[in-house]
A = this chain, B = another copy of it.
Amino acid sequence: MATESPLLLAAVTLLSALQMGYLARQVGKSRIAHKIMPPIVTGPPEFERTFRAHQNCVEFYPVFMVLLWTSGTFFNEVTAAGAGLVYMVARQMYFNGYVKSAKKRIPGFYLNLAVLFFLSLLSFIGILRGILLKYFDVHV
Closest B residue to A24 by CB, please name it.
B59
- A77-109 vs B, CB cutoff 8 Å, 1 = contact: the mask equals 000000000000000000000100010010000
Question: Complex Cα distance A74/B14, Å?
Answer: 11
Q: Is the CB of A102 within 8 A of B14?
A: no
* Least Cβ–Cβ distance between A111 and chain B, in angstroms: 15
From known contacts A7-B131, A39-B48, A65-B66, infer whether A14 and B123 are also in contact, taking CB-CB under 8 Å. yes
A5-B73 in contact (CB<8A)? yes
Q: Which B residue sits closest to A11, measured CB to CB?
A: B127
A14 contacts B130, CB within 8 Å?
no
Question: A16 to B70, alpha carbons, bound, how many Å?
Answer: 12
Contact partner of A105 among B13, B38, B126, B135, CB < 8 A? Answer: B38
With a CB–CB cut-off of 8 A, which chain B residues contact A48? 39
Given contacts A14-B124, A39-B52, contact A21 B134 (CB under 8 A): no
Interface residues as binary, A1-43 with B (CB distance below 8 Å gives 1, 0 otherwise): 1010101101101101110110010000000000001110100
Measured CB to CB, the residues of A under 8 A from B are 1, 3, 5, 7-8, 10-11, 13-14, 16-18, 20-21, 24, 37-39, 41, 45, 48-49, 51-53, 58-63, 65-67, 70, 73-74, 98, 102, 105, 116, 120, 123-124, 126-127, 130-131, 133-135
